[in-house]
Amino acid sequence: MTRVIGLGKLPWQAEGMPPPKPSFLDSLPPDRLVHLDVRADFRRGKAPFARIMATVERLGPDQVFVLRAPFEPIPLYAVLGMCGFAHWRESRARDDWSVWFWRRDDRVLRP
């Protein structure tokens, strides 16, 4: 769309960085965040997909799922995208990623 209206890429797009963190994520109370850290699963050679999906299935309508993984879980974006989730990602280190997933219907934005 930026090309159609004649604007250049935003700085984060040009550098291949993720977009800025949506501000509503920082304002959510802790009880609306559901955390799952799967880094140890990978260290033990276990695939955590079933744990991830079980966590997603248990999410309340206004909860946000925060996944911690040893790499960017790119295939998961499509899987959860088909389930109606949007995401934002951050790299804490080369082998430490956090990805926030929320329902696209904006229920999470309501107080």
pLDDT of residue 3: 43
pTM: 0.80
In-domain check, residue 38: yes
The percent of residues above 90 in pLDDT, for the chain, comes to 72
Higher-scoring residue by pLDDT: 107, 35? 35
Residue 26 phi, psi dihedral angles, 5° rounding? -75, -20
In-domain check, residue 2: no
Higher-scoring residue by pLDDT: 29, 110? 29
Residue 108's pLDDT band (boundaries 50, 70, 90)? low
Residue 15's pLDDT band (boundaries 50, 70, 90)? low
**Domain span holding position 36:** 22-104
| Dihedral sign (CA 91, 96, 98, 99) | positive
CATH number of 29's domain: 3.30.110
Instruction: Note the pLDDT tens digit of each residue in 68-89.
Output: 999 999 999 999 999 999 999 9
In-domain check, residue 62: yes
CA 89 vs. chain centroid, Å, equals 5
Q: How many domains does the chain contain in total?
A: 1
In-domain check, residue 34: yes
In-domain check, residue 7: no
